[in-house]
């Protein structure tokens, strides 16, 4: 479903300077599209280009928003705070063809391949790609581990 862009920090614990996604453009239970304009003070810039680690982190944050959104009710998307922690548990495949320059806006698309849930965590496999002006910069498959942080009573 197409949305007006929403703030991804509603679904992720990341904050500036480690936040590598600006907005969620569309999201469903198995697909997400995000955008990120690479700022001049990005911690992953090398000689004016977003490095490989930055591309992978952008892809991971995009992918994790699919799983992360399932832990939130509609009302939670108004800045109620973080409930999750997560990390890349495996990078199964990644191909990087080019690095984008500072100031450009990349689009990242991810699709859920599989997901295993328990009461407190999810393990997922996702396919992703990063595109700049119609050119694919990255394609990959990764596993993510996401755990819900329970509020103390």
Q: What is the pTM of this model?
A: 0.85
If one counts the domains in the chain, the total is 1
Task: Answer yes or no: is 153 within a domain.
Answer: no
Assign 5 a pLDDT band (cuts: 50, 70, 90). Answer: low
pLDDT attached to residue 113: 97
For the cut 80, the answer to whether the pLDDT of residue 103 exceeds it is: yes
Contact 73, 83 (CB under 8 A): no
CATH number at residue 21: 3.10.129.10
pLDDT attached to residue 72: 63
For the cut 70, the answer to whether the pLDDT of residue 110 exceeds it is: yes
Instruction: Print the domain residue range for 107.
Output: 2-148
Share of the chain above pLDDT 90, in %: 56
pLDDT attached to residue 79: 47
pLDDT per position as a tens digit, 23-48: 889 989 999 999 999 999 999 999 99
What's the first-to-final CA gap in the chain, in angstroms?
A: 36
Task: Answer yes or no: is 12 within a domain.
Answer: yes
Place of tokens 């697909």: 31
Task: Answer yes or no: is 116 within a domain.
Answer: yes
pLDDT per position as a tens digit, 52-95: 999 999 999 999 888 777 666 555 444 455 577 778 889 999 99
Contact 132, 99 (CB under 8 A): no
pLDDT averaged over the chain?
Answer: 85
Task: Answer yes or no: is 130 within a domain.
Answer: yes
Task: Answer yes or no: is 22 within a domain.
Answer: yes
pLDDT per position as a tens digit, 119-133: 888 899 999 999 999
């Amino acid at each position: 479903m197409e949305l007006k862009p929403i703030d991804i920090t509603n679904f992720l614990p990341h904050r500036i300077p480690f936040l590598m996604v600006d907005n969620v453009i569309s999201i469903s239970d198995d697909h997400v599209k995000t955008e990120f304009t690479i700022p001049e003070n990005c911690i992953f810039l090398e000689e004016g280009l977003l490095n490989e680690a930055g591309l992978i982190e952008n892809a991971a944050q995009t992918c994790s928003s699919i799983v992360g959104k399932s832990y939130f009710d509609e009302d939670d998307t108004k800045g109620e705070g973080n409930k999750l922690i997560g990390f890349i548990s495996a990078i199964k495949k990644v191909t990087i063809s080019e690095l984008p320059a500072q100031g450009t806006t990349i689009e990242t698309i991810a699709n859920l391949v599989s997901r295993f849930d328990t009461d407190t965590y999810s393990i997922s496999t996702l396919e992703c790609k990063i595109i700049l002006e119609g050119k694919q910069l990255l394609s990959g498959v990764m596993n993510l581990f996401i755990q819900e942080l329970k509020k103390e009573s």
